[in-house]
A and B are shown apart, each in its own frame.
Chain A
Amino acid sequence: MIYDYLFYKSYQLALRSRNFDDAPVFGGIWGVIPCLMFNAFTLMFLIDSFLKSELSSITGVLKYYKYIFSGVLICSMLFYYWYKERWKRIIIKYEEKENMKGRNIHPIIILGIAYIISFGMLLLAGMYKNGDGIFS
């Protein structure tokens, strides 16, 4: 799963920065949050486009209750990765994979690409839904 890999790469970066020494899970989800949010909203826009629904109007509501939503989102993610120490299994899995392959791509490259692609998809999905830009 792509988010597990992003989690692992974010964790790697967190270790290097030493800013997340006492909460490594936090370092892992830090890099996942933007991509997860962008992808979720992309999916929402696409559903709206194809089903002619109004799901995306929820972004207006979320913006109003943004602090509550953000808090719930972060707590949910922390719970997901902390539950039965899932985060450790993810780290071990990808560490083994990288050791077998013998190569390690710098986490910034992976996270940067994932972020740009996620935002690009969100932008395109939004334009497609609104019929703007290249979809006008």
Chain B
Amino acid sequence: MGIGITCPFLARLKLNKKETPDIRHAQGAARWLGYTNRFCCQFRVGFGIGGNISSNLFGAGVGFSENGGAYAYAVGFVMNERGQLDFSPSASYSYTVVYNSVRESQTAESRLASALDGVPSLAVNGSKPSYWDPASRSYILDNAEIFYNKSVPNNRWFATDIMSAVNNGMIIPDAAFKSVNNSTTGRFLSNGYKYISTVEMEATMKLAKPLTRGIAVVNIATIGIAVANDIDNGNYMSATTRAAVFGVATGAAFIPVVGWGVSLSIGIADAIWGDDFYNYVEKNW
């Protein structure tokens, strides 16, 4: 049985945000779960108490609570492409929003339509009419599908997005570390020699230092420019990813012995594959 686990930390991050909740918030939660384009077995639009949602709900959705609070949530129990139930932990977001009134006659579909207004990247279809579940005080839309068009950029920003962007950014530094540790090319970039032990490396570092440093520092600085340019263009996801790479590349230079090689490798990797990688991050995460 899939048991959802609410995430109070994430909920608190959004607690004081005054805005109308919409499907994009649910999308953030769903994305955190790794479900961005899957078949949900159930989609709930609930009248929760506000705050965290109990852990036994299904799908991903948004809701407006009776006491003026509102929430967006996504929980496990999602059906995968093969029609099997897939279980995973859940995340929830809660909001303290000013919402004048909630009409109980409003159906889940119309609520969803309202929530989706102006959000071309998402759509929700339900194969059956919604119904009121007095036990959970929710309108339930069974067999709902969430469509997420990844080609349309999402201008919302979630704490989960920041963390995933940072994690994505670690791919390049990780590759650089492995390059220096395991490859002759990486070692050559570090110190100018291909076949050398760690002890010998320290003794012979001086050979390639000036060139390495020059290239490394210029490469590092270029990442900073790209971060600002990304933010200027509203590409916050790739900007955060770049910033993570930037921070690691800068910090790596302080690692004794291999630091310069790692830093240089990160800079080179970023220069060669960076733009493609960050574009991919921006569109797909």
Q: A: which residues have CB within 8 A of B? A: 13-14, 16-19, 22-23, 26, 30-31, 33-34, 37-38, 41, 44-45, 56-57, 59-60, 62-63, 66-67, 69-71, 73-74, 108, 111-112, 115, 119, 122-123, 126-127, 129-130, 132-134, 136
Contact of A134 among B17, B205, B239 (CB under 8 A): B17
* Interface hit among B30-38, B72-80, B227-235: B227-235
- The tally of CB-CB contacts under 8 A between chains A and B is 128
A113 to chain B, nearest CB (A): 12
Q: Tell me, rounded to whole Å, the shortest Cβ–Cβ distance linking B162 to chain A.
A: 9
Contact status B232-A19, CB under 8 Å: no
Residue pairs across A and B with Cβ atoms less than 8 A apart, 16 shown, are A17-B254, A19-B254, A31-B250, A33-B220, A33-B224, A37-B225, A45-B231, A59-B229, A60-B232, A70-B222, A74-B217, A74-B218, A115-B247, A126-B228, A132-B155, A134-B157
- Kindly state the separation between the CA atoms of A41 and B223 in the bound complex, as whole angstroms: 13
Complex Cα spacing A30 to B247, Å: 11
How many angstroms from the CA of A129 to the CA of B17 in the assembled complex? 19
Give chain A's interface secondary structure class: helix
Cβ A70 vs Cβ B221 within 8 A: yes
Q: Which of A14, A23, A60, A66 has the most B CB atoms < 10 Å from its CB?
A: A66
* Total number of B residues with any Cβ neighbor in A under 8 Å: 39
Residues 226 to 262 of chain B near chain A (Cβ within 8 Å): 226-229, 231-232, 234, 236, 239-240, 243, 246-247, 250-251, 253-257, 259-260
A37 to chain B, nearest CB (A): 4
Contact between A19 and B256 (Cβ–Cβ < 8 Å)? yes
Q: Does B150 make an interface contact (CB < 8 A)?
A: no
In B174-212, the 8 Å CB interface with A consists of: 205-206, 209
Output the least CB separation between B144 and chain A (Å).
Answer: 26
Closest B residue to A69 by beta carbon equals: B225
* Contact yes or no, A22 B206, CB < 8 A: yes
Q: Which one, B17, B234, B246, contacts A34 given CB within 8 A?
A: B246
CB distance from B15 to the nearest CB of A (A): 12
Other-chain contact of A66, B217, B222, B255, B256 (Cβ < 8 Å): B222
- B137 at interface (Cβ–Cβ under 8 A)? no
Given known contacts A34-B247, A71-B218, A123-B240, A17 and B228 CB-to-CB distance under 8 angstroms: no
The 6 closest A-B pairs by CB, nearest first: A126-B231, A70-B221, A41-B228, A37-B224, A133-B157, A66-B222
